[in-house]
Structure 1
């Protein structure tokens, strides 16, 4: 009994960690984009993603050989399904890793404004400088074959999320920021709803990890309960941060609420340094699956060995650095990830795989069919409108 309870608690912690990330920093901005009414959409997205997490577990029950999300895709749609699921997951990991470099650049520039370095004819200053430095700092961590230590550090994500919320609360209640809204707040802004939805979905992108959590549970019947706990706690944390940040800064809240905080205050420094730790500890964990896939593909051509692995991983970091410097817009990039990739991975693909494996109605119940139809409609809406809105904003800022 004690062993089972311990296993359940560990799985809950791992599930919370999978759902805890830098999306927490963007929810006040998402709320400002959609207005107060969009908080209902945060709860709707959480409920939909919880439901699709359950669908993934049921898909795994269909075949004992299924261990991962790509396995579910292959069971449903054959080799093409595996490639499709893997492609979406790798693209998501790549862009989130890129977002981490932008996040480092934004927050370090907040801490050390005016920093600049000149090397001959090359000059780097401010955000660009810190993006480059962030890439240099994380590169050696990607060379490690064993990521046990980094995995242990990244598991502090749950604790870090709570610390950030409490630090922002301290800045408002004790350090003098207050809850005046620094201007205005908006009940509803329909033009910003696509961006808000994309950022909300980005906060619930733990689905690639759910199959692993499911297989690790001794009592798989408790998976639904575990997901309920994880989604409720994360939604409360995300909702608290959204309301807190929006009350503090109103429509003037920036893409990351830490960028609004007064840099001289201790609470601000705690929030920002905690924010900086998360990308640094998780970057290698994100790019390693991509690097491993590339190494597997080129092994027959160039052989294998430490040198090949280091070269592949270094080039991968370099490519994310180039993208981060070219598109240094954190909120818009994460909204694109949420709208295009998370909407597919967390909403559309689980529903499609479930229906394909178990058959359309009447093979599944009327209520299940209605829920799946609603999730597919919501996911499709976000994928179309959110992707268009995010791409349009990125292009507008580039030109």
Structure 2
């Protein structure tokens, strides 16, 4: 991964690799000078890979549940709307980078539009997003391992998994972990393969058949119960929440004029994968679709295929937790230590830096233990953080920077998107805590 992100707190530039979120791990940090590609050197194909890596993540697991929560009449139009809206706002961020020379990251855009307050606001949102992603990873790990290891609760397995990965939090050199970024794409594609294979391979004529066939789909709903529908806002939006990294992808390209084409290709791939998993999973399990589609798969088709998928799903976030924590920890460390202390670490400084990272990881684990609902946390992540970063703020910044030269149609379009995103944020955030999520 070749993207270069800025440490929001300090303005010092640090490379970052994405998620997931829409794994959504929105940012996966890399250490400058170790394996990052210099700004302005990424090829077209590298940029496409980076953008796909940003968009394809663990959010894909809850996409069939999003359709179950809304029904066909709401779910599919909502999916299409977010595809078009976020593709548009992703391109707006590229235009915002052209506002003045030297801009390379999302915080740069916030500062250009609204001064230091804009940078601080983006920093707070980023840190909240990353912390929520870590908690979501913990929940996903617990749910996945609980499906594989009977006799333990998901909460117990979360704690055990945290103890296992804790040594990886001690290091500030993440080059060895960065290669696991590929696992995000691989697990999403393998999940798609498993759904298609099981959907056509399962014997729907068997006496003990219950559900899971694409040839003989389960009953579905055109319109779900009203109290469930708002939950789909965040669950759908989380798939397209990669905008925190998009400016860095754009600024790292050799030919920045190709950035819109990069986004278009990445979105085509993402829409095909997410759309196939969302529609296929909902057809296979109907109103019995669970918050994570893998839990349905292992129920109806236990065996090596589904076991491998779930192990990949569990291992992927385990490898990304230390990487996701890194940008937050780095910014805190920059407040605690001088640049000289961080360049020439003593044993005491290394201990304190490891303590900072373990504290952040433990706090995210506590959040996951007290709110052990993958669908709720994913919906909150999409409705609050992704909606702000990926729809509202790009439109507002673009209007602020270029409003004097925009046509009336452009002003109306972007103002409308900003207003709609605020409405969706309010409804989606509230529903992520109160709507049925099982």
TM-score (norm 2): 0.82
- The correspondence for 2:163, drawn from 130, 136, 139, is 136
Q: How far apart, in 2, do the equivalents of 1:226 and 1:31 lie?
A: 28
Matched-pair contact (CA < 8 Å) for 2:41–2:254 = no
2:386 alignment counterpart: 342
| Structural mapping, 1:265-280, within 5 Å | 265-280=303-318
- Distance in 1 of aligned mates of 2:409 and 2:41: 32
Unaligned runs of 5+ in 1: 116-125
Within the alignment, does 1:44 sit opposite 2:48 as a pair? Answer: no
Q: Distance in 2 between matches of 1:6 and 1:335?
A: 33
The answer on whether the counterparts of 1:171 and 1:267 sit within 8 Å (CA) in structure 2 is: no
Q: Which residue of 1 aligns with 2:425?
A: 383
Which among 56, 60, 71 is matched to residue 35 of structure 1? Answer: 71
- CA offsets 1:125-162 (integer angstroms, 9 cap, x no match): x1111111121222222222121222121133223211
Q: Secondary structure at the match of 1:261?
A: helix
Report the counterpart of residue 122 of structure 1 in structure 2: none
How many angstroms does 1:174 deviate by?
Answer: 1.5
8 Å Cα contact 1:17-1:156 kept in structure 2: no
What does residue 53 of structure 1 align with?
Answer: 90
Q: Specify the alignment match of 1:353 in structure 2.
A: 397
- Distance in 1 separating the partners of 2:256 and 2:296: 43
Gap change, CA 1:267 and 1:175, over 3 Å in 2: farther
Deviations along 1:159-202, one digit per CA (max 9) or x if unpaired, are 321111101222222144313445x3110224333211111111
CA distance in 1, matches of 2:179, 2:252: 17
Q: Secondary structure of 1:155's partner? A: helix
Query: Which residue number in structure 1 is paired with residue 244 of structure 2?
Result: 208
What SS does structure 1 have at the residue aligned with 2:324?
Answer: helix
The aligned residue for residue 323 of structure 1 is 367
Q: 1:351 to 1:251 in 2, by over 3 A?
A: same
More helix by share: 1
Give CA deviations for 1:351-398 in whole Å, capped at 9, x if unaligned. Answer: 1111111125xx21233223213321331121010011112249x99x
For residues 234-289 of structure 1, the C-alpha deviation after alignment (integer angstroms, 9 at most, x for no partner) is: 01111100111101111111110001123532221122122112212221221100
Structure 1 segment 63-78 matched on structure 2, within 5 A: 63-78=100-115
- State the partner residue of 1:127: 154
Contact 1:12–1:226 (CA<8 Å) still a contact in 2? yes
Alignment of 1:63-102 (within 5 A): 63-102=100-139
- Alpha-carbon distance between aligned partners in 2 of 1:194 and 1:369, rounded to the nearest angstrom: 28
| Residue 109 (structure 1) aligns with | 146
Instruction: Give CA-to-partner distance per residue, 1:204-262, whole Å, 9 cap, x none.
Output: 11111111111111111110000001112101111100111101111111110001123
1:311 corresponds to 2:355: yes
Whose relative contact order is higher, 1 or 2, with alpha carbons under 8 Å and at least 6 apart?
1
Question: Please, what TM-score do these two structures have when normalized by structure 1?
Answer: 0.90
Distance 1:149 1:386 in 2: 37
In structure 2, runs of 5+ residues without a counterpart are 1-39, 204-211, 343-348
Pairing 1:332–2:370 present: no
CA distance, structure 2, for counterparts of residue 6 and residue 290 of structure 1: 25
Deviation at 1:310, TM superposition (A): 0.4
Say what the alpha-carbon RMSD is for the aligned residues.
2.0
d(CA) in 1 for partners of 2:94 and 2:81?
20
Q: Contact between 2:63 and 2:274, CA under 8 Å: does it hold in 1? A: yes
Q: Secondary structure at the match of 1:156?
A: helix
**Alpha carbons 2:231, 2:435 under 8 Å: kept:** no
> Partners of 2:131 and 2:337 in 1: how far apart?
21
Aligned residues: 378
Alignment counterpart, residue 319 of structure 2, candidates 273, 281, 287: 281
Identify which of 156, 168, 172 aligns with 2:183.
156
Q: Which residue in the other structure is 2:173 paired with?
A: 146
1:201/1:339 contact within 8 Å kept: yes
